[in-house]
């Protein structure tokens, strides 16, 4: 009881101190605002939001400390209790995110996509709910934003404007409209006062996370707050999002012309767009995880899985400009507008990329090192894996863990020369092994996340999103996606070497390397086909 009272005392003091400091952050926001009256009105809600955050954070911390108190490490009882605490805490966090909205939902989405970097109970609870149950702004609020940004109400600016949104996300919602020229468009409208509340919300979240880390050192998610601090202002600027979509398509036309036709971003209507409102071409398509709708289009889901893998591999290893939020709602599939057909009359797909707010630019060094790392992973090159992991800060004690996080496979599988060494079988024992792996090395994972460059953390999130897309499309081990990654990463490295070749001998040497790698990947592809054939016929 004495220990419980002590912990509860820490909880109460923590909540009170956070509330006082958060009030100071709100006052600072009012002082810096261009519209003090509006900011004052907004900041009356900040203490309420902060109080919810403080109580939730303190309750979660107290629950972990008190519930696990005295339970031996590695005991069955501790594992059972920890699972229960994880589940309760995830639900508390989910409730907090929905009540506070805005940046909190963005944080919840981010956590929900970090499979095996946070406890599974959190990802299971947050992944779907944070994407599919986002709050919506009222039509009156939408009208206020449209009038402020475009100079008139929706019915004046557009020929038609559906008051019911077709989608809502953490920062904005989308309405279908028609311009006076007759074009059907999607209008992305930022939730009211999002920019005004973001600064105060970020300050309070940062305060709580830092304070929690000081009181309970095992709770260390400062890296997540740092990432939101960097990305949120860019995501709140819809002109930046429009420019990202144009740059993305330009990269495919210049650097990846062989697949440029198969990747698309909706056109932007610049005369109807501002930093808080974005008007785009309306594109019909099936959501990438909707297998039934994709098959009704006459498209094979395996073709989509290959296209998604190729598209993002080209971004990561050749363009160095990466769409970092490829979850289900941001990827649509439609038939190729040119009506080209593949073998046996199958329709060819086109991948439509939505929501271009979150991109990361990889400098040449990071891009080539990342490509070299993935090439080594696919080819089970232990020496290459270690060398390239260490370039990202994962030293002798962490490189195997980093490789495991990237591939979701334990080290003995990562370096297994079998063609399917990186495929996750999806059965109960495989899933259990991965969860045990993440749980057992949680402190080391936290240490690794602090050492890795921020841009690589977003690559981890992107990998998790793409893995979920692939699993939804084909629902079995995908060796082919890894072969695609290996091929594209190798091509990027060869292109980089050729650009620096200053003699005929060097040029020929690189050419020979290119041929040998292509032969190796062809052998891997042939081995994969044989493996699939034997599996299909139980040979």
Catalytic residue set: 325
- What is the DSSP code string of 338-357? T--B-GGGPBPEEEEE---S
User: What is the secondary structure of 135-170 as a DSSP string?
Assistant: ----HHHHHHHHHHHHSS-HHHHSSEE-SS-SEE-S
Q: Residue 361 belongs to what H/E stretch?
A: strand 359-361
217: DSSP letter: T
The C-alpha atoms of residue 471 and residue 464 are separated, in whole angstroms, by 11
d(CA 51, CA 53): 5
Count other C-beta atoms under 10 Å from residue 381's C-beta.
Answer: 17
With 0-12 / 13-18 / 19 or more C-beta atoms within 10 angstroms meaning exposed / middle / buried, residue 234 is middle
DSSP symbols for 478-519: -HHHHHHHHHHHHHHHHHHHHHT--SHHHHHHHHHHHHHHHH
CB atoms within 10 A of CB 72: 8
Nearest CA to 394 out of 444, 338, 335 is that of 444
Residues 6+ apart with CB under 8 A from 407: 377, 413, 414, 422
Cα separation, 462 vs 27, whole angstroms: 37
Tell me which DSSP letter residue 27 carries: H
CB 281 within 8 A of CB 183: yes
**Which 3 state secondary structure label does DSSP give 190?**
strand
Q: Strands 349-353 and 263-264: what pairing?
A: parallel
The three-state secondary structure class of 115 is strand
Partners of 331 in beta bridges: 353
Give the phi and the psi of residue 536 in degrees, each rounded to 5.
-65, -35
How far apart are alpha carbons 132 and 90 in whole angstroms? 17
Per the CB < 8 A criterion, the answer to whether 381 and 399 are in contact is: no
Instruction: Give the span between the Cα atoms of 509 and 512, in whole angstroms.
Output: 5
**CB 424, CB 193: distance < 8 Å:** no
Phi, psi of 246 (to 5 degrees): -70, -45
Concatenate the DSSP letters of all residues of 292-317 into one string. Answer: HHHHHTT--HHHHHHHHHHHHHHIII
């Amino acid at each position: 009881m004495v220990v419980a009272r002590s912990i509860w005392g820490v909880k109460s003091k923590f909540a009170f101190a956070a509330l006082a400091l958060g009030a100071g952050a709100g006052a600072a926001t009012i002082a810096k605002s261009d519209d003090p009256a509006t900011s004052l009105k907004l900041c009356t809600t900040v203490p309420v939001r902060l109080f919810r955050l403080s109580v939730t954070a303190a309750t979660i911390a107290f629950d972990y400390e008190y519930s696990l108190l005295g339970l031996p490490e590695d005991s069955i009882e501790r594992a059972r209790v920890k699972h229960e605490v994880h589940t309760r805490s995830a639900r508390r966090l989910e409730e907090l995110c929905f009540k506070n909205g805005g940046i909190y939902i963005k944080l919840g989405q981010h956590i929900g996509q970090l499979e095996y970097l946070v406890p599974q109970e959190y990802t299971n609870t947050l992944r779907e709910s944070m994407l599919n149950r986002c709050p919506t702004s009222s039509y009156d609020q939408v009208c206020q934003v449209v009038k402020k940004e475009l100079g008139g109400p929706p019915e004046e600016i557009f020929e038609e404007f559906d008051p019911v949104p077709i989608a809502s996300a953490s920062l904005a919602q989308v309405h279908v409209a028609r311009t006076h020229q007759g074009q059907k468009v999607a209008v992305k409208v930022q939730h009211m006062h999002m920019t005004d509340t973001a600064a105060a919300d970020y300050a309070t979240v940062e305060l709580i996370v830092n304070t929690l880390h000081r009181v309970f050192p095992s709770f260390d998610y400062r890296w997540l707050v740092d990432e939101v601090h960097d990305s949120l202002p860019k995501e709140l600027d819809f002109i930046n999002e429009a420019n990202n979509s144009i740059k993305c398509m330009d990269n495919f036309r210049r650097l990846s012309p062989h697949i440029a036709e198969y990747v698309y971003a909706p056109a932007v209507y610049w005369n109807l767009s501002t930093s808080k409102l974005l008007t785009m071409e309306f594109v019909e398509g099936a959501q990438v995880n909707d297998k039934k709708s994709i098959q009704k289009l006459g498209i094979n889901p395996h073709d989509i899985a290959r296209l998604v893998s190729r598209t993002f591999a080209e971004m990561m290893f050749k363009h160095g400009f990466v769409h970092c939020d490829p979850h289900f709602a941001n990827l649509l599939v439609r038939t190729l507008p040119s009506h080209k057909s593949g073998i046996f009359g199958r329709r060819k797909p086109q991948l439509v990329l939505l929501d271009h707010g979150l991109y990361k630019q990889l400098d040449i060094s990071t891009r080539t090192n990342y490509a070299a790392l993935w090439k080594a992973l696919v080819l089970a090159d232990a020496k290459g894996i270690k060398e390239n992991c260490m370039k990202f800060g994962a030293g002798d004690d962490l490189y195997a863990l980093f490789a495991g996080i990237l591939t979701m496979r334990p080290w003995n599988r990562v370096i297994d020369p079998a063609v399917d060494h990186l495929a996750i079988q999806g059965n109960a024992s495989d899933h259990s092994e991965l969860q045990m792996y993440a749980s057992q090395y949680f402190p080391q994972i936290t240490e690794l996340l602090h050492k890795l460059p921020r841009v690589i953390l977003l690559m981890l999130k992107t990998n998790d999103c793409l893995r979920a897309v692939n699993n939804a499309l084909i629902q079995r081990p995908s060796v082919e996606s890894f072969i695609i990654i290996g091929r594209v990463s190798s091509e990027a490295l060869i292109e980089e070497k050729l650009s620096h070749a200053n003699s005929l001998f060097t040029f020929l040497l690189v050419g020979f390397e290119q041929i040998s790698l292509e032969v190796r990947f062809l052998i891997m592809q042939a081995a994969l086909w044989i493996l699939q054939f034997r599996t299909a016929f139980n040979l």
